[in-house]
Structures are given as structure tokens and as C-alpha cells.
């Protein structure tokens, strides 16, 4: 492994757990792209279209969008470290991701992953807060608890997006937004799919649950929580151009 490529891998390891990098980075050698998925930022819908593209002209069908073992796309660990670093840095490879307003992303995570009390993120959170399985967690406790974590310690569903997508280490060709998903996905698609057209591109929501968090922000955010999120997630607001005014998140 060359020094440069070893340095790339080591920089990723310092940003977030390498297991998360492996689990949430999707690589297509055939179509020459790398997709960095962000939890609670339309990644189920995006994967639906990417899998459809990868399986085009084959008899294979998508078995699961949520079990990584069923993905037709490669994970970083499946590639030689030198090849991986060179592929990700190549100008011929399209690197993209989608991000979301931090206010609505956190509320969506809370409603989808914490309130039902069944997910791995819920179990991680109750351990962090010193609670028992089955305990209700208020939105305030959720926000204040995760704001005490470092980005490295955070679950991928609420980790700062700049760290989740390794923004400092990957030169992205396109960063789409959930808020303008249809148009942004339409911009990405020709870069990776050529003439292949996906049905209902940018229109079909494949998320396992729909929280409509964007319309419920004022019901959950107090001034204290807005301040905490703005402070902790300042890099997300600044880098991705989101307003720190809650009312602008609608």
C-alpha cells in the first residue's frame, strides 16, 4: 500500500468508524460512481434506483434495500486499498451524496428510530443516556444527549453530515439536497446511468417509514434545542448552505 493511499484510509478512520465507511459507501465499477449515503437523507430511495441501474439487463432483482449483504454495489473493504483510493480520487469517477437540513433530519431520526423503541440507534441512545430498554426518550433528551457526543461517537443516522460523507477527504462532483430531491436526482442520473431511464426517478419514496418531520418542527423544537443543534451541527449548516433559522427549514 502506498503512503498516499494508506494516508487516505487512515484519514477516513479518524473521521468515523471504518465499519460505517464500509456500510454506507456504495461503489459501482461498471458505472464509475461512488455514493456516500447519509442516514435519514433519502438513501433508501436513492439505493432503489442505483440497484435498479446495476441490475439492468440481468435477471437479478433487489432482495432488500436495508441489508447490505444484498447490495449489488461494492463496499470499500472489497477493494484493494490502493485501488480504492485511486478510484475515489479519479476525475473519471462521479462522487455524489445527498444531505438534509439538520433540523428536519434529527426530528425524522427521532420519530423513525427512537420513538418506536425497536432499532439499533434506540439501543445505542438508551445506553448513552443510562436508560433501560423500553424507556421513553423525549425529543429534548435525544437532542441534548447526541449533542454531547463527538461526531466519531455518533450513530450514522445523526452524525454530522460533513463527517458522515468524509467531506474533507473526498472531492464531490455533486451534493444534492433532500429538499430538492427530484431535480437534484435528475441532475445526477445522466452522469451515472447514461441513457438508462428509471421509472418514477426522484418521485418514489422508498423509505420504510415516512415521518413528515419537515412540517412538525415547531411542535418539537424549543429555543434551547434550536440553539443546541445550531451549535453542534454548525458545520453542516455552513458547508451545505442551510439556514440556522428554524422557520426556514419548512
Which of 61-75, 89-103, 161-175, 194-208 bottoms out in mean pLDDT, i.e. has the lowest? 194-208
At 35, which helix (H) or strand (E)?
strand 33-36
Share of the chain above pLDDT 90, in %: 86
Helix, strand, coil percentages for the chain (3-state, nearest 5): 50, 10, 40
Share of the chain above pLDDT 70, in %: 92
DSSP 170: -
Which of 145-159, 188-202, 233-247 bottoms out in mean pLDDT, i.e. has the lowest? 188-202
Nearest to 124 by CA among 10, 18, 20, 15: 20
Grid cell digits, residue 51: 440497484
Question: What is the per-residue pLDDT for 3?
Answer: 47
Grid cell digits, residue 180: 430538492
Give the C-alpha separation, 214 to 182, whole Å. Answer: 17
Question: What is the per-residue pLDDT for 26?
Answer: 98
Q: How many angstroms separate the Cα of 227 from the Cα of each of 156, 221, 245?
A: 22, 10, 10
Section 32-36 average pLDDT: 98
Q: Which residues contact 203 (CB under 8 A, 6 or more apart)?
A: 182
Q: Which residues contact 185 (CB under 8 A, 6 or more apart)?
A: 46, 49, 176, 201, 202
Confidence tier at 206 by pLDDT (50, 70, 90)? low
Q: Which residues contact 216 (CB under 8 A, 6 or more apart)?
A: 107, 111
- Whole-structure pTM value: 0.92
pLDDT over threshold 50, residue 116? yes
Residue linked to cell 437523507: 41
Residue pLDDT, tens place only, 167-176: 999 999 999 9
Amino acid at each position: 500500500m502506498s503512503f498516499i493511499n494508506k494516508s487516505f484510509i487512515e484519514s477516513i478512520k479518524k473521521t468515523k468508524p471504518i465499519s460505517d465507511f464500509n456500510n454506507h459507501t456504495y461503489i459501482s465499477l461498471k458505472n464509475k460512481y461512488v455514493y456516500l449515503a447519509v442516514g435519514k437523507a433519502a438513501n433508501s430511495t436513492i439505493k432503489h434506483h442505483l440497484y435498479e441501474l446495476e441490475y439492468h439487463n440481468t435477471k437479478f432483482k433487489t432482495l432488500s434495500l436495508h441489508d447490505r449483504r444484498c447490495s449489488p454495489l461494492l463496499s470499500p473493504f472489497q477493494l484493494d486499498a490502493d485501488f480504492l483510493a485511486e478510484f475515489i480520487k479519479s476525475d473519471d469517477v462521479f462522487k455524489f451524496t445527498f444531505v438534509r437540513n439538520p433540523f428536519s433530519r434529527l426530528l425524522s431520526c427521532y420519530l423513525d428510530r427512537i420513538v418506536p423503541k425497536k432499532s439499533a440507534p434506540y439501543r445505542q441512545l438508551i445506553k448513552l443516556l443510562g436508560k433501560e430498554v423500553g424507556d421513553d426518550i423525549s425529543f429534548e433528551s435525544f437532542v441534548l444527549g447526541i449533542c454531547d457526543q463527538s461526531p466519531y461517537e455518533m450513530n450514522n443516522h445523526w452524525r454530522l453530515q460533513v463527517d458522515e460523507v468524509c467531506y474533507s477527504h473526498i472531492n464531490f462532483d455533486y451534493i444534492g439536497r433532500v429538499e430538492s430531491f427530484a431535480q437534484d436526482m435528475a441532475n445526477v442520473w445522466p452522469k451515472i446511468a447514461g441513457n438508462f431511464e428509471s421509472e418514477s426517478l426522484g418521485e418514489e419514496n422508498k423509505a420504510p417509514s415516512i415521518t413528515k418531520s419537515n412540517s412538525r418542527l415547531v411542535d418539537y423544537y424549543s429555543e434551547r434545542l434550536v440553539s443546541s443543534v445550531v451549535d453542534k451541527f454548525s458545520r453542516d449548516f455552513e458547508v451545505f448552505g442551510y439556514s440556522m433559522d428554524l422557520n426556514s427549514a419548512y
